[in-house]
Structure 1
Amino acid sequence: MAKTTFLTFISSLCCFLGVFHLQITHAQIVIGKPVLEFTQACANDTFNSFTTSFVFSPESGVETSNQFLIELSDATGSFNTATTVFTSNPGAITASPANVSFSLPMFTAGEEYKIRIKSTHPEAVSASSNSFAAYYKIQDSPFTINDLTATAVFCPGGSYLLSIDNPGTGDNDSPLQYPSLTFNWMKETGPTTSVIIGQGPTLAVSEAGVYFAETNYGSCTSDSFSNRVTVSEATSEESADATIVSSLGNPFCSQEGPTTLQTITGNSYTWFKNGTIIPGATSQTYETESSGLYEVIVSFGSCEASGSIDLNTGDFTAEINVPETNLLESGETIDVLVTTNAIAPEFKWFLNEEEISGALENSFTVTEFGLYRIEITQTDGCVFTKELSFQVDEFTDPFPNVDKIPNIISPNGDGINDTWIIPIEYTSGTNSNVTILKRNGEDVFSTNDYVNNWPEDPLPFSDVNQVFYYIITPPDKDPIKGSITVLK
């Protein structure tokens, strides 16, 4: 009986191990090295799709929940910080070989990229692909250097400064607006040939020749290149050119701080603003945060070079069509309009520091009293905000048509009966004399041009209400006399 039980146990164990071995076998796949269906990956905003193929085995080892991934290395071919550029839907790829396409991230730039394939269920990874050049051409259009200058001259022993325009001229899409880009400076060696002689946003040249810049997209061809500048050495009868470059571009945002103007290297420097010498500005650079026409004269001893830049701070103007203080009668309105040259402006309106819901245009109809404030934000180019404000108060007629002379006032600041309001036949323009006296006969107020404004200053109070006396003397009429009780 025991022998039979032992044999049964061994048989069951063998079946279990067989099934376990079968499961392990099904849980393993091998993924082949991906084959590139392209020689180099040159992407831009209109094209960004590249195909690769790979094999895997056995097909039966892929689970229904499996996903295949494509990982992209860094520019040196390392997968330490790999980027996943493709993920299949679960169970979508079940047949080998497989063809899939992927897209490049926007800041891809280099000559030694690789890809590899990974699976999730079961987990497996392929060998890396062959190396390939990959660039996302974020800027792929012509741009300008030196404000489209065609020719330039440098002093013997000096140099001429070539510079990529930022943001450029007109609709120029300056590559300097894309911090991830790098640049090559080229010198023509023949009608169709050129060599790289420098890198960066500027280049000082001291040899005659034809120069231009291009965005560094490696072995990928592109349309991101500049105009040509023909540079020559000045003769004794020629004047030379001195480029001026703004470190923050032109225009620049003065709210971000001053920009530094830089020119070519020489023996001495004289800077001008709007035609006037700038005292103390005798260096190769000059720092400023204001607009204006800046010029420089660079001396090389026997030769001088001059240059200029019309610097713009990127500021904008804004104004409203109403004065700072406005009077509004109850039931009336004021149409307020903001005029501005801001680029793509946005507007916010506030009443007594509370934002007015839905008020997002450059015009607003005022119906309430209070302090209004408008925020105007330039949202393109130099992004910053300006504010305008105005006050709207309720209009009060200083000469209401009252029937009789009042004998009680309460100057407590509540806007009701604060001053002594008399009939208009005795007020300003009638040449009536209005005199107010204390109980002891002391004259405290007297005028022939009364504008319903007494008392002009706060009156001292004792424990009882004060009583004053008035005398109104119209022209060619008998005086009118009475008393005024001032309530606390």
Structure 2
Amino acid sequence: MYTNKLNYKSYLLLCFLIFVSQQKVNSQIVIGTPNLGFTQACANADFNTYSTTFVFSPENGLSASNQFSIELSDANGDFSNETTLYTSNAGTITTSPATINFSLPTTTAGENYKIRIKSSAPMATSSSSNSFAAYYKIQDAPFTINNLVSTGVYCLGGSYLLSIDNPGSGNNNSPLNYSQLTFKWYKETGPTTSIFVSNGASLSVNQEGTYFVETNYGTCTSNSFSNRVTVSSVASGETDAGIASSLGNQFCPDQGATTLSTIQGNSYQWYKDGESISGATNQMYDTIESGTYAVQVDLGSCFASGAIAIMSELFESTINVDETNSIEEDESLLVLISSTANNPEFEWYLDTVLIPDATEDNFEATAYGNYKVVVTETMGCLGSREFSFEITKPYDPFPEVENIPNLISPNGDSINDTWMLPAKYVTGTDTHIVIMSNRGEIVLQTTNYLNNWPENDLNLTSINQVFYYIITTSDNEIKKGSITLIK
């Protein structure tokens, strides 16, 4: 009886031990070191997908709620402030080995990153992966330094400052727009070789040579590099200063003004076709005009000058009529446009209204008014030129006038601007005319009146002025009266 009880207790103890052992198996797993699917991670906006493969055991040790995650160390391989790159959905990874894809944060930059794998149910952490270089190339395009001027000059014993342009001219994609980036300056030692000089966004140069800078993406190759600048020194006197045009030596005016830039100095003076440009005393000068531009740069104990010829490629065009033209009512005026524009289009306007069907380089105008023609180049350099002209009735200096006027308004509107007399008193009639001010001063005395008084500015004010006239004909007929001038 006693033996049976003992056997029963031993059986219960064995079942308990088996149960506890099974629970321990189900409550822990082992995750192997993650295997990288790459040697270095050089990400950018177009590519940022990487993979890692890992094993874990036992597979049946995972809870149905388990999630695997990938953690990224800092650039020194430290997981004190790890970054979670990926977390799987609950229960989606159940077989070993497993492969997971992930992406890098845009702030990634360093040579010694590591990753590790974690599980949530049960909780387990793998050992860290091998170190790898990782950079997110947030700026991966060429950029400019020295305002794209290819030379720099300093006086002997001084220095020249090279700096990354921000923003620079044109479409320069300055890496200074991204605060997390760092930079490395180099000096060329041969056609394809160079040596590292310094870090930073600028470089003070006191040795002659050709310099450039690259965005620091470590061992990752990139397109984030600058133009080359050749720096030289001068002991005294004058040396050459480079000039760069942001739109090139030939440019289309529809692009806007081109920016001319020169080397850095203490002061500047720009010239166009040999003449100094008033107020053009900065390192840069904007222009839309063709010509030969020069600059003189004061470097302190020495100075430099340079020149550049630029051409704005807007087409040439001319019109065959004057700004003001007159025709009789039954006449017409043939207007012709000559142009070097590529595939030109023509628009004609009368008093700001588009004239339908007038689309050629000529137009026969018959109506009085203000005309405008717009010539547009539609191929190559896109741009337009405008010409304006006016067609009026012929001016008659001796119109039919019945009476001697006593009121005129010389305000330039071509209406009642001068004192118009009847034909029997004007030139050719030997009529003596005298006009006096209200103080008795003679302002006009003639026997050849041309209906043109007043010819000069009489300093009209808001107060009307009064003048007096005496008209004496050849047969001694006399007419007297007053003339009031109003604005």
Counterpart in the other structure of 1:194: 194
Amino acid paired to 2:26: H
1:243-295 Cα shifts (integer Å, max 9, x gaps): 9xxxxxxxxxxxxxxxxxxx98x9xx6799x85999xxxxxxxxxxxxxxxx9
- 1:121 and 2:121 aligned: yes
How many Å apart are 1:296 and its aligned residue? 8.1
Alignment check: 8 A CA contact 2:187 2:197 kept: yes
Matches within 5 A, 1:7-22: 8-22=8-22
Alignment check: 8 A CA contact 1:71 1:117 kept: yes
Alignment check: 8 A CA contact 1:270 1:297 kept: yes
1:204-234 Cα shifts (integer Å, max 9, x gaps): 1111111111100000000111111111222
How many Å apart are 1:73 and its aligned residue? 0.1
CA distance in 2, matches of 1:79, 1:154: 49
| Secondary structure, aligned partner of 1:21 | helix
How many Å apart are 1:149 and its aligned residue? 0.5
Counterpart in the other structure of 1:145: 145
How many Å apart are 1:297 and its aligned residue? 4.2
CA distance in 2, matches of 1:119, 1:130: 20
Counterpart in the other structure of 1:181: 181
Amino acid paired to 2:164: I
1:149-174 Cα shifts (integer Å, max 9, x gaps): 01122211111110100012211110
CA distance in 2, matches of 1:276, 1:212: 29
Amino acid paired to 1:299: G
C-alpha RMSD over aligned residues: 3.1
CA distance in 1, matches of 2:234, 2:298: 15
| Secondary structure, aligned partner of 2:84 | strand
Amino acid paired to 1:183: F
How many Å apart are 1:129 and its aligned residue? 0.6
Alignment check: 8 A CA contact 1:55 1:97 kept: yes
Counterpart in the other structure of 2:82: 82
**Corresponding pairs, count:** 267
How many Å apart are 1:187 and its aligned residue? 1.0
Matches within 5 A, 1:93-132: 93-132=93-132
CA distance in 2, matches of 1:167, 1:91: 50
Alignment check: 8 A CA contact 2:215 2:224 kept: yes
Amino acid paired to 1:191: P
Alignment check: 8 A CA contact 1:208 1:233 kept: yes
CA distance in 2, matches of 1:212, 1:130: 34
How many Å apart are 1:195 and its aligned residue? 1.5
CA distance in 1, matches of 2:140, 2:66: 39
Amino acid paired to 2:131: S
CA distance in 2, matches of 1:33, 1:72: 14
CA distance in 2, matches of 1:277, 1:233: 23
How many Å apart are 1:147 and its aligned residue? 0.9
Amino acid paired to 2:300: S
Amino acid paired to 1:133: A
CA distance in 1, matches of 2:179, 2:235: 39
Amino acid paired to 2:29: I
Amino acid paired to 2:129: S
Alignment check: 8 A CA contact 1:53 1:98 kept: yes
Counterpart in the other structure of 1:228: 228
Counterpart in the other structure of 2:430: none
Change (3 A) 1:100 1:277: closer
How many Å apart are 1:90 and its aligned residue? 1.2
How many Å apart are 1:20 and its aligned residue? 1.8
Alignment check: 8 A CA contact 2:146 2:165 kept: yes
Change (3 A) 1:277 1:85: closer
CA distance in 2, matches of 1:106, 1:304: 45
Counterpart in the other structure of 2:300: 299
CA distance in 1, matches of 2:225, 2:281: 37
How many Å apart are 1:298 and its aligned residue? 4.4
Amino acid paired to 1:70: I
Matches within 5 A, 1:67-78: 67-78=67-78
| Secondary structure, aligned partner of 1:172 | coil
| Secondary structure, aligned partner of 1:299 | coil
Counterpart in the other structure of 2:38: 38
TM-score (norm 1): 0.50
Counterpart in the other structure of 1:134: 134
CA distance in 2, matches of 1:202, 1:275: 29
Alignment check: 8 A CA contact 1:242 1:296 kept: no
CA distance in 2, matches of 1:242, 1:79: 51
Amino acid paired to 1:203: L
| Secondary structure, aligned partner of 1:162 | strand
Alignment check: 8 A CA contact 1:185 1:196 kept: yes
CA distance in 2, matches of 1:240, 1:5: 111
CA distance in 2, matches of 1:174, 1:124: 45
Gaps of 5+ in 2: 244-262, 270-277, 283-295, 307-487
CA distance in 1, matches of 2:168, 2:118: 45
Counterpart in the other structure of 2:54: 54
| Secondary structure, aligned partner of 1:101 | strand
1:317-376 Cα shifts (integer Å, max 9, x gaps): xxxxxxxxxxxxxxxxxxxxxxxxxxxxxxxxxxxxxxxxxxxxxxxxxxxxxxxxxxxx
How many Å apart are 1:305 and its aligned residue? 6.6
| Secondary structure, aligned partner of 2:20 | helix
Identity %: 58
How many Å apart are 1:124 and its aligned residue? 0.7
Change (3 A) 1:70 1:306: farther
How many Å apart are 1:16 and its aligned residue? 2.4
How many Å apart are 1:96 and its aligned residue? 1.4
Amino acid paired to 1:193: T
Counterpart in the other structure of 2:327: none
How many Å apart are 1:55 and its aligned residue? 1.1
Matches within 5 A, 1:352-371: none
Amino acid paired to 2:93: I
Amino acid paired to 1:21: S
Change (3 A) 1:69 1:276: closer
Alignment check: 8 A CA contact 1:160 1:242 kept: no
How many Å apart are 1:119 and its aligned residue? 0.7
Alignment check: 8 A CA contact 2:149 2:242 kept: no
Counterpart in the other structure of 1:29: 29
CA distance in 2, matches of 1:88, 1:277: 63
